[in-house]
Amino acid sequence: MKKSQHGFSIVSAIFLLVVLAFLGVAMTTLSTTQNQGAAMDVMGSRAYQAARAGIEWAAYNVSISPASSATPWAGCVAAKTVAVAADLAPFSPVTVSCVANSYIEGASTIWIYDVSAVAQTTGLVAGNQDFVQRVITVKLGK
């Protein structure tokens, strides 16, 4: 007696659909992860530029302070906020910290400023997936 087999092709079709669905989900997940990584790279670059703007602000103010002054630049404080605009707005304000040290060379007083600028995403805390922070530290002299 011959028995015909029916339904074998439906099992193969279901298997192929499951495999294709899995591949589709995997590709979507990979694409999303890559896009999020690229977006965070851009945010990191913006944070760096915002911190750099804080350093440039301090460098400008040091450069216009009087040479061989008996007192340091008045803006050299433990924490000063500097506003940035446009594309850097998610990192505004930037916190600029400064410590001044004086050195006597002959009749001149030389001021060395340790300046640090911190730019981080406003309203977010470390550990949040969208949190970005960049810190730049420089020494300036006048």
Q: What is the pLDDT of residues 1-12, one digit of tens each?
A: 566 666 678 888
Asked, for residue 21, whether it belongs to a domain, the answer is yes
Q: How many domains does the chain have?
A: 1
Asked, for residue 1, whether it belongs to a domain, the answer is no
Residue 30 above 70 pLDDT? yes
Averaged pLDDT, 46-65: 94
Q: How far is CA 17 from the centre of its chain?
A: 43
Tell me which residue range forms the domain holding 76: 8-141
Asked, for residue 12, whether it belongs to a domain, the answer is yes
Residue 55 above 90 pLDDT? yes
Please give the DSSP secondary-structure letter assigned to residue 104.
E
Asked, for residue 58, whether it belongs to a domain, the answer is yes
Asked, for residue 57, whether it belongs to a domain, the answer is yes
Asked, for residue 31, whether it belongs to a domain, the answer is yes
User: Which pLDDT band holds residue 56 (cuts at 50, 70, 90)?
Assistant: very high
Asked, for residue 3, whether it belongs to a domain, the answer is no
d(C-alpha 138, C-alpha 124), whole Å: 26
Residue 119 above 80 pLDDT? yes
Question: What is the amino acid identity at position 75?
Answer: G
pTM over 0.85: no
* CB contact at 8 A, 84 and 92: yes
Helix residue ranges per DSSP H, the chain: 8-63
